[in-house]
Chains A and B, each alone.
Chain A
Amino acid sequence: MADRAIYVHQLFKRYKGRNGPVDAVNGLDLEVETGECFGLLGPNGAGKTTTVEILEGLNTPTSGEVEVLGRRWETDENEIRQRIGVTLQETRFPDKQTVREMVTLFRSFYHQGLNPETVLERVALESKSGAYVESLSGGQQQRLAVAIALVGDPELLFLDEPTTGLDPQSRRQLWDVIRELSGRGRTTLLTTHYMDEAERLCNRVAIVDKGKVIALGSPADLITRLGGEHIVEFAIQPTESPIEADEFAHLATVISARAEADGFALTVGKPHQAIPALLDHLAQTERTLARLTTRQVSLEDVFVSLTGRHLREEDESPSNGSIKKRWGKR
């Protein structure tokens, strides 16, 4: 029990939607070990926030088993609340309170915890401790939210999309804070739809889609499971006849091929073999290369290969099932 911070079994949550019921969480299973930084990854609307709010005791499941720090919400609500820390998506703290006052206020709710100065130092806000909340930048407000989550010295910390909407520098700053916390042996559950964030911060991630976990493992593990570690992306000068992605799937060390918005992406084992093979193939079929880049495989690729959709559907169109899947065979 002690080595399991979170246990979730067959979790369901159904909302009454306008067009019939919506299953926000649809049979989700999850185990988070004590001391790890665990990432819940998935697109908007995948059910991450609903799941986390159920874990935080802010929402009730339709059915399923939930244990937090070995306790259940129905019987040990107050004990769990004393031992967890929470940041929600976009909490708006009152404008006219100072940073220290907010932290002190929240400190008073816990039997034991850290003193406000210590917490502000941890999130690098000590210089702002006398400033009004309204004068903080977006990144500073988010760090204040983390400080408030930490003030009860929680064993388990929930961070719901902590860096959404922040500029790159603020994101990096917050990552440093989170990484330092993980170093203290506390458990962190993080939700995000940024792949790079999960890769940098998490020991393990669960990819959630449509209310279910569709893949689980360390970021490196998930990436290797894709078969190759490199992605070769290229585009071809327009030709009369349409080109199928399948055409490239048989090239040397290519594991999968998919069409993208304006070109193709190949998951390859060995770029130094795959690229010459690709160039030869293009020469034989008399096509002209317009663009060619290679990069490391990311969790984003894992997600696309699993679902056929990009994580952030708003800005990218789905690749119409033209993926060649090798995933299922593993």
Chain B
Amino acid sequence: MSSLAPLFQLYKSRLREFFRQPARIFWVYGFPLVLAVGLGLAFKSKPVEMIPVDLVESGSWNEVAKTIGTHNTKPGPSLDPRISIHSGTAEGTDNRLKTGKTPLVILAISPTQVEYRYDPTRPESVTARNAVDSILQRAAGRPDPVKTSDIVIDEPGSRYIDFLIPGLIGLNTMGGGLFGVGFLIVNFRVGKLLKRFMATPMPRRDFLLAIVGARLTFLVPDIAVLLSLGHFGFQMPIRGSLLLVVMLDVIGALAFAGIGLLIAARANNTETVSGLVNLVMLPMWLFSGVFFSAERFPDAIQPFIQALPLTQLISGLRMVILEGAGPLQIWVPLTVLTVWSVVTFVVALKIFKWS
């Protein structure tokens, strides 16, 4: 047997273990996908919705309904919102207003006098009021002295989904490192498998290389799945080099593998390791800008946030993917992540308990 045999067998063994667990595959690949699709659709720029209003069936309500109906059928790509009408008794509509089922109640006292009933602290009520008022005034002959035009901004690259995809790639890289390395090793230790390996002439280096190698291998489908979803599903642009994206994510993965190893260095039961993993992940879930920008947090805690590996990984990924940054422009993320990798590996190997 060649001296590469142990490394190769250990590596194969890691891959097999992963791909034979459908549940794990779902959490690693399926779940982020579902999350991205869900959030992507929820925040997708949609045509402006119909505004629902209530109309009291009294006075000249028929004329008002007709005017609005004409407005709604106006052809062409108008950005003016369409209005949907629910009509009822004064009492019934008032009730719907109080319980928040409608934002606005219209009472047409006469063709030249209309009363709006609404709560001005509700933004959608104000919008509805202004939209209906504008329709009625214009229909009654009000001229628009200023010529206006509307331009829609939903360029690929500046939408929420574009912001989200790099965040999810980073999140997956973090989870993979902490669970894939930390949990795995502690499970080996609990099952005495680590000790059993130590009783053989297996090179320790190969054992760790196989784990890290397997981690980096899983990264490829990780990135591929999320980037393809963004690119092909939501037309997210990939402006920078794909190679740089992979390289940055590899260094990020090494940093998280190092943290995983550090967590697993001494823990000898799964409760300890799951506590530690959560302790490490929680601040990064919150502060690292996965779902909204990290810059929204107060300046006082920015140094802390910027030192977190996930913050740097995600911000680097966004710079490369969305802004087309080159290696020199992302030197900060590259440096911070490299420091994390080196320091965690050195410390973890120093204090690692092999049995």
The answer to whether the Cβ of B78 comes within 8 Å of any Cβ in the partner chain is no
Contacts of A101 in B (CB 8 A): 13, 16
Q: In residues 4-35 of chain B, which contact A (Cβ within 8 Å)?
A: 5-6, 8-10, 13, 16-17, 20-21
B13 and A105 contacting across the interface, CB-CB below 8 Å: yes
Q: In residues 164-222 of chain B, which contact A (Cβ within 8 Å)?
A: 190-193, 195-196, 198-202
B5 and A92 contacting across the interface, CB-CB below 8 Å: no
- Provide the A107-118 mask, 1 if CB < 8 A to any CB of B, else 0: 111110000000
B6 and A109 contacting across the interface, CB-CB below 8 Å: yes
Q: Pick from A80-88, A194-202, A288-296 the stretch touching chain B.
A: A80-88
CA distance A152 to B6 in the complex (A): 13
A111 and B17 contacting across the interface, CB-CB below 8 Å: no
Q: Among the listed A86, A107, A108, which residue makes an inter-chain contact with B199, where contact means beta carbons less than 8 Å apart?
A: A86
Q: Among the listed B191, B201, B355, which residue makes an inter-chain contact with A78, where contact means beta carbons less than 8 Å apart?
A: B201
The answer to whether the Cβ of B48 comes within 8 Å of any Cβ in the partner chain is no
Q: In residues 231-281 of chain A, which contact B (Cβ within 8 Å)?
A: none
How far, in Å, is A6 (CB) from chain B's closest CB?
A: 16
Contacts of A327 in B (CB 8 A): none
CA distance A91 to B16 in the complex (A): 20
The chain A residue sitting closest to B9, CB to CB, is: A108
Q: Among the listed B8, B190, B199, which residue makes an inter-chain contact with A81, where contact means beta carbons less than 8 Å apart?
A: B199
Q: Among the listed B13, B199, B202, which residue makes an inter-chain contact with A88, where contact means beta carbons less than 8 Å apart?
A: B199
Contacts of A107 in B (CB 8 A): 1
The answer to whether the Cβ of A96 comes within 8 Å of any Cβ in the partner chain is yes
- Provide the A70-106 mask, 1 if CB < 8 A to any CB of B, else 0: 0000000010011010101111111011000100111
How far, in Å, is B12 (CB) from chain A's closest CB?
A: 8
B201 and A109 contacting across the interface, CB-CB below 8 Å: yes
Q: In residues 187-244 of chain A, which contact B (Cβ within 8 Å)?
A: none
Contacts A88-B195, A108-B1 given: A94-B17 contact, CB under 8 Å? Answer: yes
The answer to whether the Cβ of A58 comes within 8 Å of any Cβ in the partner chain is yes
The chain B residue sitting closest to A149, CB to CB, is: B199
Contacts of A93 in B (CB 8 A): 191, 193
Give the number of residues in B that approach A within 8 Å (Cβ atoms).
23
State which size class the interface on A falls in. Answer: 20 to 34
Contacts A108-B1, A108-B8, A109-B6 given: A96-B199 contact, CB under 8 Å? Answer: no
Contacts of B355 in A (CB 8 A): 58-59
How far, in Å, is A256 (CB) from chain B's closest CB?
A: 41
Contacts A58-B199, A58-B355, A152-B200 given: A90-B192 contact, CB under 8 Å? Answer: yes
The answer to whether the Cβ of A57 comes within 8 Å of any Cβ in the partner chain is yes
The answer to whether the Cβ of A56 comes within 8 Å of any Cβ in the partner chain is yes
Contacts A58-B355, A96-B16, A109-B6 given: A81-B200 contact, CB under 8 Å? Answer: yes
Contacts of B1 in A (CB 8 A): 107-108, 110-111
A96 and B191 contacting across the interface, CB-CB below 8 Å: no
CA distance A26 to B10 in the complex (A): 39
The chain B residue sitting closest to A93, CB to CB, is: B193
The chain A residue sitting closest to B207, CB to CB, is: A109
Contacts of B202 in A (CB 8 A): 109
A91 and B200 contacting across the interface, CB-CB below 8 Å: no
CA distance A87 to B88 in the complex (A): 82
Contacts of A59 in B (CB 8 A): 355
How far, in Å, is A146 (CB) from chain B's closest CB?
A: 12
B198 and A58 contacting across the interface, CB-CB below 8 Å: yes
A91 and B196 contacting across the interface, CB-CB below 8 Å: yes
CA distance A96 to B187 in the complex (A): 14
How far, in Å, is B13 (CB) from chain A's closest CB?
A: 5
A57 and B9 contacting across the interface, CB-CB below 8 Å: no
Contacts of A148 in B (CB 8 A): 196
- Provide the B58-77 mask, 1 if CB < 8 A to any CB of A, else 0: 00000000000000000000
A97 and B195 contacting across the interface, CB-CB below 8 Å: no
Contacts A90-B192, A104-B9 given: A97-B17 contact, CB under 8 Å? Answer: yes
The chain B residue sitting closest to A83, CB to CB, is: B201
Q: Can you identify 7 A-B contacts, CB atoms within 8 angstroms?
A: A81-B199, A89-B192, A90-B192, A91-B195, A92-B193, A96-B20, A97-B16
- Known: A86-B199, A92-B191; 7 extra A-B contacts, CB below 8 A, are A81-B199, A105-B9, A107-B1, A108-B9, A109-B201, A110-B201, A148-B196
Binding site for B on A (CB under 8 A): 56-59, 78, 81-82, 84, 86, 88-94, 96-97, 101, 104-111, 148, 152
Q: Which 10 A-B pairs have the closest CB atoms?
A: A92-B191, A96-B20, A81-B201, A86-B199, A108-B9, A108-B5, A109-B202, A109-B200, A105-B9, A91-B196
